[in-house]
Amino acid sequence: MEHGTHERFLKDLSDAVAYPFGSLPRSVLALSISVVMYVVLVLSTMPTFSAQMLSDGVGWLGYVVVSLTETTYRSSGLTGVSLVVLYAVLTGVAVVNTVGQIRAVGLSKPKEFVGVVPGLLASGCASCGAGLLGFIGLTGALAAMPYDGTLLRVGGLALLVFFLGRAGHPERCGVTQGGGS
C-alpha cells in the first residue's frame, strides 16, 4: 500500500465508525445491536448452561449474562472480555452502516443483501471462538486452538475492521473521480 492509501484507509475507517453515532436514531440502533450481540456472544460461551437456565424462564437472563461474563473474565482475562465487547460494538457499527448503505444506494437484487450475512456470521464465529462453534457442536475445536482461540478472535476482528475501513462512510461513494481509485 502506498502512503496515501494508508491515510485514506484510516479516514474511511474513521468515517465508518463515526457514521452510526451521527444521529440519535442510528446511535440507538447501533447500541441496541451491540448489546444484543454481546448477550448472544456471552450466552454462546456455555450454550448448555445458558439453555438450561433460560428454559426455566427469561428472568434468569441477567444472572446468566453476569455469570458468563465473569466466567469469560476468569478464563480469558480482560483481553477476552474486551474482544467480546469490541466485536459486539463493531457488529453494531457494521449493521447500521449496512442499513445506511442500503438506504442510500438501494438493492437491485435480494441476492445483494444475502451477500452481507455470511461476512457477519464468519466474523462472529471467529470473534467468539468456541462460543458459536459450541452451538453447532464443535466445542472441542477450541481445545486445539493456540491461546484458547484468542488469535482466532483477533483475526475475526481484524477482518471486520478491514472491511469497515474499505467500505468507509456508507452514504458516500468510495470511487474517486479522474481515473484513480
Write out pLDDT tens, residues 20-48: 999 999 999 999 999 999 998 888 888 88
- DSSP 3-state of 22: coil
SS3 135: helix
Confidence bin at 149 (pLDDT 50/70/90): low
Contacts with 175 (C-beta within 8 Å, 6 or more apart), sequence order: 181
DSSP classification of residue 180: -
Cα–Cα nearest to 64, from 54, 77, 79, 75: 54
pLDDT at 154: 77
pLDDT (average), residues 70-87: 88
Domain ranges of the chain: 3-166
Is 116 in contact with 91 (CB distance < 8 Å)? no
- Cα–Cα separations (whole angstroms), residue 135 to 49, 84, 148, 157, 162: 12, 17, 17, 20, 27
pLDDT value of residue 171: 77
The pTM is what? 0.74
Q: Is the pLDDT assigned to residue 111 strictly greater than 90? A: no
Provide the pLDDT for residue 100: 86
- Cell numbers placing 149: 482461540
Q: Under 8 Å CB-to-CB from 32, ≥6 apart: which residues?
A: 92
3-class SS at 137? coil
